[in-house]
Amino acid sequence: MSQKKTNISKKREPLSDRRKFILNMARGVGIAALSGFVWSAYVDEATASQLLLRPPGAIKEDDFLKTCIKCGLCVEACPYDTLMLAAPGDNDRPLGTPYFVPRDVPCYMCTDIPCVPVCPTGALDESSVSTDGKLDINIADMGLAVIDKESCIAYWGIQCDACYRACPILGKAITIEYDQNTRTGKHAFMKPIVHSDACTGCGLCEHACVTEKPAIFILPREIAMGKAGSHYIKGWDKSDEKRLEGATTKINTTEISKQKASDKLNGDMLEGLY
């Protein structure tokens, strides 16, 4: 009887301090791991956007996300109210970071670029918008204008040069190409063309575009541009042709490919040739 009693009381004995400590630790680590996963999943989602246009001088998006402290000093410095901080709930815009929507308010490319030097963190990098130590908004790279030729009415043959006129670096960033309108036989096409080497992505063209939804619009440069790859060489371009100088004449023999020709050409066949 008494034996039984002690057995029961033994079972219900409170946990030893050591045991308690270990259990508490384990629970703490478990909860931390759980919240860590949820938290990082959320942060990953919240910072995934690639389509945002950043203020002039913004560093690479990856670095921008870790460097910008979300103070809004750039927003306050902009005299045109171009810049905004992303609000909660804008799920495709990383919370609190500055961006602009050119169709609403474009960047007017101030020559003194007031938004950049105020940035305390270097997320907006003065040196990336300076030439010889002087601020130079013309080398800013906020994005690149892209024309949808199917909705641009100038490509239809209707006279419009709204974007060309709006461009602060007209003649360089946008030019007009004349072409014969074979449909009417007596009119000319005056087609706007954007040049990626001069366009800053300010968006004045997008702002000015007369179509219902703009036929010219700004995209981040990495998204707007393709890449030919290093194995294509412009033989007619002296500086590009130079890349051939160090090339070897090693001959590769390969088996007959089982892949489709188009896959092969875009693949690795030419790799290592130069």
Partner 1 sequence: MKYIWNNYRYLILRRVVQIGLLVLYFGANAWGWSVLQGNLSSSVIFGVIPMSDPYAALQMLAAGALLATNLLMGVAVATLFYLLVGGRAFCSWVCPINMVTDAANVLRSRLGFNRLANKQPASRKMRYWILGLSLIISAVMGVTAFEFISPISMLHRGIVFGIGFGWAAVVVIFLFDLFVLKNGWCGHLCPLGGFYSLLGKFSFIRVHHYEENCTLCMKCKEVCPEHQVLHMIGKKSIPVLSGECTNCARCIEVCDDEALGFSIRKLAEKKTGA
* Residues that bind partner 1 in the complex, under the rule CB under 8 A: 28, 32, 35-36, 39-40, 42-44, 46-47, 62-63, 65-67, 69-73, 75-76, 84-89, 94-96, 118, 120-122
Residue 215's binding partner out of partner 1, ligand SF4, none, with CB under 5 to 8 Å set by partner kind: none
173 binds ligand SF4 (CB under 6 A): yes
Least separation in angstroms between residue 140's CB and ligand SF4 is 7
- Nearest to ligand SF4 of 180, 211 (CB atom): 211
152 binds ligand SF4 (CB under 6 A): no
Tell me the DSSP string of the chain: -HHHHHHHHHHTPPPPHHHHHHHHHHHHHHHHHHHHHHHHHHHHHHT----PPPPTTB--HHHHHHH-----HHHHH-TT---EEPPTT-TTS-TT-EE--TTTS-----TT-TTTTT-SSSSB-GGGGEETTEE-GGG--S-EEEE-TTT-HHHHT----HHHHH-TTBTTTEEEEEEEETTTSSEEEEEEEE-TTT-----HHHHH--SSS-SEEEE-HHHH-----TT---TT-HHHHGGGTT---PPP--PPPSS-HHHHHHTTTTTT--
Tokens of 158: 């209707």
CA geometry: angle at 224 spanning 220 and 229, to 5°? 120
Q: Given candidates 52, 53, 59, 74, which one binds ligand SF4 under the rule CB under 6 A?
A: 74
86 binds ligand SF4 (CB under 6 A): no
- Nearest to ligand SF4 of 52, 109 (CB atom): 109
Considering CB under 6 A, how many residues would be counted as binding ligand SF4? 42
65 binds ligand SF4 (CB under 6 A): no
The answer to whether 70 and 59 have CB atoms below 8 angstroms apart is no
203 binds ligand SF4 (CB under 6 A): yes
Residue 199's binding partner out of ligand SF4, partner 1, none, with CB under 5 to 8 Å set by partner kind: ligand SF4
The answer to whether 234 and 213 have CB atoms below 8 angstroms apart is no
Least separation in angstroms between residue 67's CB and partner 1 is 4
- Nearest to ligand SF4 of 49, 200 (CB atom): 200
The answer to whether 203 and 108 have CB atoms below 8 angstroms apart is no
Write out the binding residues for ligand SF4, residues 232-261 only, by CB under 6 A: none
**Given the rule CB under 6 A, which of 2-10, 87-95, 111-119, 177-185 is the region that contacts ligand SF4?**
111-119
209 binds ligand SF4 (CB under 6 A): no
129 binds ligand SF4 (CB under 6 A): no
Interacting residues with ligand SF4 (CB under 6 A): 55-56, 68-74, 78, 80, 82-83, 98, 107-110, 113-115, 118-119, 121, 123-124, 137, 145, 166-167, 169, 173-174, 194, 199-205, 218
